[in-house]
């Protein structure tokens, strides 16, 4: 089979699985506000990134969000889906890129740590400057409506980033990478098409 076609099939299958996994969300209340929901779809995307590379990981991430939109619709006017795509890429692209350079356990761990840091920084920047202001604008809500949902009282958007956005993304990134670390070697033969 043509390698490009084989990769496209794997990307499609992984994206479909990730989209279904994305339907099962967990709430981390009271640690973070109730509108932050965690799912394990990035596990599938990162597994694909490790097996196929960062380019296919981006395609899996995009297709996952599109399929999930078709399956579940949106309650965020598409902002949540865009955010999920950007945050997912912030985690899986650096991790899979670094792993592709040197496919060792140590390099995988380094890549995942870099991915978690990247996710956390990108999430804070995007939420501060783009996402929460966009939610506030489109849903005609003051930013203070988000601040009031933090687990501890906060008076500024920056403090909200530190007590809500940062912990949530550190937890999500770490949980995702831990699962990938535990299962990658077991699923590698399936992902690469070898026995």
| Residue 156, domain member (yes or no) | yes
What are the tens digits of pLDDT across the range 165-184?
Answer: 999 999 999 999 999 999 99
CA max distance for the chain: 58
Count of the separate structural domains present in the chain: 1
What are the tens digits of pLDDT across the range 8-46?
Answer: 999 999 999 999 999 999 988 787 888 888 999 999 999
Residue 108 banded pLDDT, cuts 50, 70, 90: very high
| Residue 153, domain member (yes or no) | yes
The residues facing 27 across adjacent strands are 37
| Residue 194, domain member (yes or no) | no
CA distances to 26, 71, 94, 118, 143 from 100, in Å = 31, 32, 10, 17, 41
Angle at 69 between CA 65 and CA 71, to 5 degrees: 115
| Residue 33, domain member (yes or no) | no
Instruction: Please tell me the pTM assigned to this model.
Output: 0.93
Average pLDDT over residues 105-114: 96
| Residue 31, domain member (yes or no) | no
Range of the domain at 155: 3-23+38-186
Residue 194 banded pLDDT, cuts 50, 70, 90: low
Q: Quick check: 195 pLDDT over 50?
A: no
Mean pLDDT of the chain: 92
Q: What is the CATH number of the domain that holds 130?
A: 1.10.1760.20
More confident residue, 153 or 110: 110
């Amino acid at each position: 089979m043509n390698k490009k076609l084989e990769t496209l099939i794997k990307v499609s299958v992984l994206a479909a699985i990730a989209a279904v996994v994305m339907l099962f969300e967990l709430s981390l209340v009271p640690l973070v506000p109730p509108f932050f929901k965690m799912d394990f779809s990035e596990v599938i995307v990162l597994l694909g990134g490790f097996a196929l590379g960062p380019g296919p990981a981006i395609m899996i991430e995009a297709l996952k969000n599109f399929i999930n939109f078709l399956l579940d619709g949106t309650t965020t006017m598409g902002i949540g889906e865009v955010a999920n795509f950007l945050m997912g890429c912030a985690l899986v692209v650096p991790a899979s890129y670094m792993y592709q350079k040197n496919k060792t356990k140590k390099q995988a761990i380094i890549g995942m740590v870099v991915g978690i840091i990247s996710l956390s920084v990108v999430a804070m920047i995007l939420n501060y400057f783009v996402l929460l202001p966009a939610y506030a604008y489109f849903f005609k809500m003051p930013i203070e409506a988000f601040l009031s949902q933090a687990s501890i009282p906060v008076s500024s958007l920056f403090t909200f980033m530190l007590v809500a956005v940062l912990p949530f993304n550190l937890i999500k990134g770490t949980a995702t990478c831990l699962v990938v670390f535990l299962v990658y070697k077991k699923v590698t033969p399936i992902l690469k098409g070898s026995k």
